[in-house]
Amino acid sequence: MENSIIYFNGRPDGIGNRIEQLIYIQQYCKENNLQCIYIWNNSYFRNYKCLISFENITIKDKITEKEKKYLTNDCFLRTPEYIVKYNFLFTIPSPPVYDVIIHIRGTDRLNPSIKHHDFSNVTELNNIMEKTINYLNNEKTITTYTVVTDDKQYINYMKNKIQKEYIELSYNHDIHNDWIDFYYLTQPKKFILMCCRFSSYSITASILGNKEIRIFKESIDSALPRYKSNIKIIS
């Protein structure tokens, strides 16, 4: 193995968890003049094609038995000033333009029996949604918005409550919707609004897109601070 190459076994988790690792590894490699071979692992529950690339990282589905001897997990570095160079491996024709994108994370994150601080419950999510509606309705600098979510029932609810222009998003059935939503999260003109307690998905999108992510105070008591993203707390 050349000393300039490192090997990393990636998490078989959601897109946000994988992108978090890739962000840290990319900065580490850039600042140490290294290249990384990152193994893009999938599981039965989380199975995605890799549709993103990074300047100093080669992403593979598998490596040889010989290469496995060189696996490391000590190559993380993150400073807020570092701008990550990356590319999506797909295009969205004529992408829509919107001031704000709201991300609502529900489904498996709403589990009151799990006491971990990154998990939430229906009552807390509903409260954050109502605060999001009130905030956008009273924010005079915002004229357009859109919503991405893992539970589509929330989109119509927000459209009926927010008194600003809703921008429809288009989807390509050849590309997993999770990748398209992640792309849209990197693209707002103004900021991302994380309408949930915690989501690595919207946090890492804010880092790649170099966008501010606005949150409510509930999100401070989560893993959010470790990401060193550009946070603004809505009071």
The single residue listed with the structure tokens 């529950």 is 45
The single residue listed with the structure tokens 């989109």 is 155
Quick one: pLDDT at residue 111? 62
Mean pLDDT by 10 residues, the chain (235 residues): 85 95 97 96 92 98 92 91 97 95 78 62 91 98 96 94 98 93 98 95 98 95 94 96
Asked whether 49 and 182 are in contact (CB, 8 A), the reply is no
The single residue listed with the structure tokens 């606005």 is 214
| CATH topology classification for 100-233 | Rossmann fold (3.40.50)
Quick one: pLDDT at residue 1? 46
Asked whether 103 and 128 are in contact (CB, 8 A), the reply is no
Quick one: pLDDT at residue 91? 94
Q: Please, which residues have CB within 8 angstroms of residue 110's CB and are 6 or more apart in sequence? A: 119, 120, 121, 122, 125
Quick one: pLDDT at residue 45? 86
Asked whether 25 and 71 are in contact (CB, 8 A), the reply is no
Quick one: pLDDT at residue 73? 85
Can you read off the two tokens belonging to residue 29?
A: 């490699």
For CATH 3.40.50, the residue range(s) in the chain are: 100-233
Rounded Cα–Cα distance for residues 160 and 80 (Å): 37
Can you read off the two tokens belonging to residue 150?
A: 């893992």
The single residue listed with the structure tokens 């804010």 is 206
What is the pTM (predicted TM-score) of this model? 0.94
Rounded Cα–Cα distance for residues 38 and 89 (Å): 16
